[in-house]
Structure formats: structure tokens, C-alpha cells
Amino acid sequence: MAETYQHYIDGEWTDGHGSETFDSENPATGEQLAAFHRGTPADVDEAVAAADAAYEEWRELSRIDRAEYLWDVYRELRARTDELGEIVTKECGKEISEGRADVVEAAHMVEWAAGDARHPSGDIVPSEIAAKDAYMRRKPRGVTGCITPWNFPIAIPYWHMAVALVEGNTVVWKPAEQTPWCAQIVAEMFEDAGIPEGVFNMVQGYGDAGAAIVDDDRVPTVLFTGSAEVGHEIADAVGGESGKRAACEMGGKNAVVITDQADMDIAVHSAVMSAFKTTGQRCVSAERLIVHTDVYEEFKERFVEVASKVAVGDPLQEDTFMGPLIEPEHREKVTEYNDLAREEGVNVLVDRTELDADEIPEGHEDGVWVGPFVYEADPDADLRCTHEEVFGPHVALLEYDGDIERAVEIQNDTDYGLAGAIVSEDYRQINYYRDHAELGLAYGNLPCIGAEVQLPFGGVKKSGNGYPSAREIIEAVTDRTAWTLNNSKEIRMAQGLSADI
Ligand code: UN1
């Protein structure tokens, strides 16, 4: 492809200040998809200046007028779901139903944000004084810096940007370097919608461009979804600065609990979906299966059977279950964790780290292939493989004996707290899990993936320090003002405070 794609700054496409370019590659074939200019801190500086300048006018529009631009984006996402889903699949390797679901989730988020523009914003609050009106009113915060991951290259950018824009903020976005083609499409959609100059800006590139957004004093809000390592760096960098806010959503060491009262069909189905969908590369993917001793052997046999056979291959084919990993460096990391598990003495049940040559579809020899790696380990052992996030199809079976309290104790034995599921037909077990599992997202008799945008999405413990997504994002991108108005001719104070002077 001859063209080298650009940044979108202040309503213009630009090469930026840097001289370097980078490529987007199809992880299923190794084919180069497109080339992109690599952004520099100087490009971020320009983008932030544009967003800062555009903020004054953008914030004066009504929420409903701002939402009009998003309705245009929504219609485009809906009309182009199949086409864009295929691009998602080509660039990030998710199987095709996941590629489309990414676009559908983006459309849902935009619809939610634009629809919310016509709903009440803030609260009417009672006052002790009859002639006093009290309200909670929301205000935008200014330039919002958005740093997004490759695994949901269309949906997560809209998690960040749709509500931020409707609420009156302007945006500087640094998309993941692995999925710049998807980012290009998102930027074109804003351009096609006619969004005013400077309101939306995109700088393509790597971590140095992201860091420049985080460090810029004109950016009061940073939204980040991605690895725990980077998320904690951002939270620490921003934490010391008053007035600055970072909402970060990071990874997990998520688990599915399968109790002695589990329906075995649901247990196996939930576990397979949770562990292997997106080739284990969702922040909500499960890498631990905590299984009661009474059903352990049956579950193990059935789970191992599916993991041994599950179809890894060309993600554009409808009958593929798992596509490739995102990039060779990531495959190295997953392989290292599989090796580490062996070194830590676990009992390996399925090892498809290297696929057989006949499993790899023709023309896909250069893909980033890995299959499931399944093992059993002692839930009480202090192992790195059962406590650190791998972000791949690497899953431990942890057998437990005893009641639901014991299962939840194992579930909570992690620094993370993003997503999890329980499979049980016993409502007492389910309710105990719901109330005591330390999680931002908890599911009963379902996989622990597949959240819908009208629910909050975020984690506790090391998994997050805010909800840079879905409906809760409004808290990150707005400030709240307590606004109180006296409608009488005298001043009266609450709490019985004397107003005599
Ligand atoms: C992620 O894993 O990074 O809940 C996001 C889900 C999707 C979003 C996942 N709606 O699985």
C-alpha cells in the first residue's frame, strides 16, 4: 500500500513532525496492511493546543447539539458493521464474530452516550431551607487524553470518547500501535460527521506519544485501558498532581468458580468461552478455573477434551474459534509463561503451544499461532503462573474442597479484581459469591466476558482506579458542582447556623 496514513490534528490530516513510520500487520498472515506516520511529543503538543482552543466553543453547545455528531457516527457504525468487523479481524486477529461484535459494541456505546444527552444530567437535591434550591450539576473538565488498547480497537475508543464528547470535553487520542488502521477509520468517522476542528484529535504512535499526553498540563483528564504496568505508571504520574485525574482500567487474573452444584454443560461452556475467546486476550479472560472436588474429574475430562480440539486458525472463517495472538513479542511472553508453569511443577493437561503443521491453514504459515495450554495446580501454592496475568489461552485448574467460602477465598487470592463467574444451581452459593468476590464484574452461570455498555465496566484492587468505560465514565469526564440558589429576600443558613450580623 503506497499511502502512509497521517495524524488528525485540528481538523487536518498531517504527517506530523517525526520522520519515522510504522506498519500495521495482519497477525494471521504476517501481511503488511498499511503504513502510518509515527507521532512524536511535538505532535501531541499541537493536538493538545488544538483541543484546548476548541474547548471554549464546544462546551457552550447544548449536550443535544454535541450528540448530533455522534448520531452520525452511530449510523455509520451500524451501516458498516460487516465491513469494519472484517477490518478488525484482519488487523487484530479476533475471529470474525468478535470482529463484528467489536463494532456493534462501539455502536452501543455511541448510542448510549448520544441518547443520554436527552436524559437529565445531575440531580435535584432537597434543602433544609424551603426557599433554597439545591442541585448537583455536571461540568466538563477540558481536554481528555485517551489511550486505548488493540484488543477492542473500535469499541474501547468509543467507551472513552463518546461520553467525554457529549459532556463537553475535547479529545486527544493515542490509539494502540498494533491497530492503527482501525484508528484511522474511527478518525475518518469523526471527520465525516463534521465534528468541529480541534474537538477530536488523533496522534498515531507508541508509548512516547502516550506519555506526552499524560505529562501535558493542559490535559486534566487521562483515560487509559490496557496493561496493569502502564496503567499504574499513568496513575502514579497523575496521582501527585492536584486537579489532574486518571481513570485506568487494567488487567486481571480472572477466574470461573465451578461449585459442587454446577450444571456441567454450563460449566464447560462458560469456562471455554471465558478462557479461549479472543485467544485469551481480553482483560476479562479467565486464566483460573476453581473447581469443586466432587465435580473435578468430570469437569476436567470434558474441559480437556474441548481444549484439545478447539479450532485455532484463520479468523475470517466462521467456524474458527480462536485466531492468532496479536504479535510475535506477545507470543514470546505467552510461551514463557507456559514454560514457567512447567518449571513451577504444575501438571500439564493440554499443551498446544506449538500447533501441528497440519493445523495451520494454508497461506497462514507466518501467523502468530498458539493453542490452549491447560494445567492443574495447587490453589494454595505461591506460583507466579497462577497469580500473574498472561493474556493468552493459558489456564489453570484449581481443585478445592469445602464450601463456597473456600472457593471465594481462592478467587480473591490475587492482586487483581476485574471479572469472574460462578457456575452453580444453588442460590445461596451464588449470593455469597456475588457479595464476597472482590470484582468489578461478576457473572452467574455465564462466561466472565461479554459485558454490555449500559453496565459499569471496571475493576477493583490492581485492576483499576476508575471506570474509563461504559456508563460510569461520566464520573471521570465531568466535575460535579453543588449549586445552591436562594429564592427569598433574606439569608437563612442550614444546620441552624445563625445568620445574624
Ligand atoms: C477487554 O477485555 O479489554 O466484557 C474489554 C467484554 C467486552 C469488553 C472487554 N465487552 O468482554
Which pLDDT tens digit goes with each residue over 297-332? Answer: 999 999 999 999 999 999 999 999 999 999 999 999
- Rounded distance from Cα 283 to ligand 1 centre (Å): 6
Active-site option among 92, 146, 283, 385:
283
pLDDT of 2 reads 60
Alpha carbon distance 14, 23 (integer Å):
17
Does the active-site annotation cover 25?
no
Give the model's pLDDT for residue 1: 47
DSSP secondary structure string for all residues of 253-282? -EEEEE-TT--HHHHHHHHHHHHHGGGG-S
How far CA 11 is from CA of 53, 202, 210, 293, in Å, comes to 12, 10, 20, 61
pLDDT at 471: 79
| 464 CA to centre of own chain | 11
pTM greater than the 0.90 cutoff: yes
Choice among 91, 111, 177, 249 that is catalytic: 249
The answer to whether the beta carbons of residues 161 and 200 sit under 8 Å apart is yes
* Pocket flag, ligand 1, residue 284 (CB < 6 Å): yes
Q: Which residues contact 241 (CB under 8 A, 6 or more apart)?
A: none
Q: Quick check: CB of 286 below 6 Å from ligand 1?
A: no
Q: What residue type is 338 in one-letter code?
A: N
| Residue 258 predicted with pLDDT over 70 | yes
- For ligand 1, is residue 273 a contact (CB within 6 Å)? no
3-state SS, residue 321: coil
Q: In 444-465, which positions are buried (b, 16+ CB within 10 angstroms) versus exposed (e)?
A: bbbbbbbbebeeebbbebbbbb
43 Cβ inside 6 Å of ligand 1: no
Q: What is the pLDDT of residues 66-110, one digit of tens each?
A: 999 999 999 999 999 999 999 999 999 999 999 999 999 999 999
24 Cβ closer than 6 Å to some ligand 1 atom: no
Query: What cell numbers appear for 395 in the block?
Result: 489456564
Residue 146 host element (H or E):
strand 143-147
Question: Does residue 242 register a pLDDT over 80?
Answer: no
pLDDT for 293: 98
Task: Please say if 283 is a catalytic residue.
Answer: yes
The interaxial angle of helices 155-166 and 180-192, nearest 10 deg, is 30
Q: What is the 81 CA–ligand 1 centroid distance (Å)?
A: 18
Return the C-alpha cell found at 105: 459494541
Q: Which three cell numbers stand for residue 65?
A: 447539539
Cβ neighbours, 10 Å, residue 65: 12
3-state secondary structure at position 193: coil
Cβ contact 203:45 at 8 Å: no
Q: Per-residue pLDDT tens for 439-493? A: 999 999 999 999 999 998 999 999 988 877 777 899 999 999 999 999 999 999 9
What CA–CA distance (Å, rounded) separates 105 from 111? 10
Neighbours of 78 (CB within 10 A): 14
Has the ipTM of the complex gone over 0.95?
A: yes
Nearest atom in ligand 1 to the alpha carbon of residue 451 is: 4
Backbone angles phi and psi of 171, in degrees to 5: -130, 140
Name the H helices within 201-263: 207-215, 228-239
